[in-house]
Amino acid sequence: MPRLEDHCWSCSCASRIETKHSSGANWLAHKAEEMMSIITSVLSNAYGSLHDVRTANLIRRGLVLFTVGAFLALVLNLLQIQRHVTLFPEEVMATLFSSAWWIPPCCGTGAAVVGLLYPCLDSHLGEPHKFKREWASVMRCIAVFVGINHASVKLDFANNVQLSLTLAALSLGLWWTFDRSRSGFGLGITTAVLATVFTQLLVYNGVYQYTSPDFLYVRSWLPCIFFSGGVTVGNIGRQLAMGGVEKPHMD
């Protein structure tokens, strides 16, 4: 049953954040060591076969989060390639697949790490997240996140400051509406800062670049996107963690 649920979840609703061109690589790098630590802990757990169920659960959640993250990255990346749509599907597909292949996996990994970190942090802090814990709310959160991305791409703002401020307000609103926990806020901020720094590094080293950078080398709205992405993935992760534990009561 949990597997079914997860499956349903991963294929029916794709949501995750981290879309932007830059985010993927960034995630990959700065999450790598965290990932390693998690992997080692997972392995050690596996050795003590007592934790089989827990480990399996963890891996499953990680997979789901990875899928969601990768899919969202792909989809939201497409938002960037819009406008100059040609009438030739071949061309579009070519553009689609010619874009850097490493983005979705990176975003997926980042999503998995953040999504697993959130419930972990909750349990360590000892304040379980109780606010709006249901799938409908998670769906809403994802939709709002996609909407924020959509807005950042499509809306024409007078200047970049306005755009960034608007997006920041939207991100904060997302957090307030769906999270409202200090740990969530803190982790989101951390995620945003780390991811932005990493993106800066990537751009500085010439891996790719932005057409019109206005914040050192990147766009100034990037942190907002990262923040809201972190919160959204955290929401999913928490729900998954909860669903795994209290599956019988989920209905």
How many chain residues interact with other proteins (CB under 8 A)?
Answer: 48
Nearer to other proteins, 135 or 217 (CB): 135
Question: Mask 137-156, x = binds other proteins (CB under 8 A)?
Answer: -xxx-xxx-xx--xx--xxx
What's the min distance (Å) between Cβ of 181 and other proteins? 17
- Using CB under 8 A as the binding rule, whether residue 59 contacts other proteins is answered as no
Residue 98 exposed, middle or buried by CB count within 10 Å (0-12, 13-18, 19+) = exposed
Q: Which of 10, 45, 95, 190 lies at the binding interface for other proteins (CB under 8 A)?
A: 95
Q: Does 75 sit near other proteins (CB under 8 A)?
A: yes
Which of helix, strand or coil describes residue 14? coil
Cα separation of 189 and 178, whole Å?
Answer: 16
Q: In angstroms, rounded to a whole number, what is the distance separating the alpha carbons of residues 101 and 172?
A: 31
For other proteins, which is the closer residue by CB, 135 or 210?
A: 135
Nearer of residues 30 and 129 to other proteins, judged by Cβ: 129
* Residue in 134, 182, 204, 209 binding other proteins, rule: CB under 8 A: 134
SS3 31: helix
Q: Does 47 bind other proteins (CB under 8 A)?
A: no
- Considering the rule CB under 8 A, would residue 85 count as an interface residue with other proteins? yes
Cβ neighbours of residue 56 closer than 8 Å, sequence gap 6 or more: none
Segment near other proteins (CB under 8 A), from 30-38, 86-94, 108-116, 221-229?
86-94
Residues 6+ away with beta carbon under 8 Å from 131 = 178, 179, 180, 181
Q: Indicate the SS3 state at residue 215.
A: strand
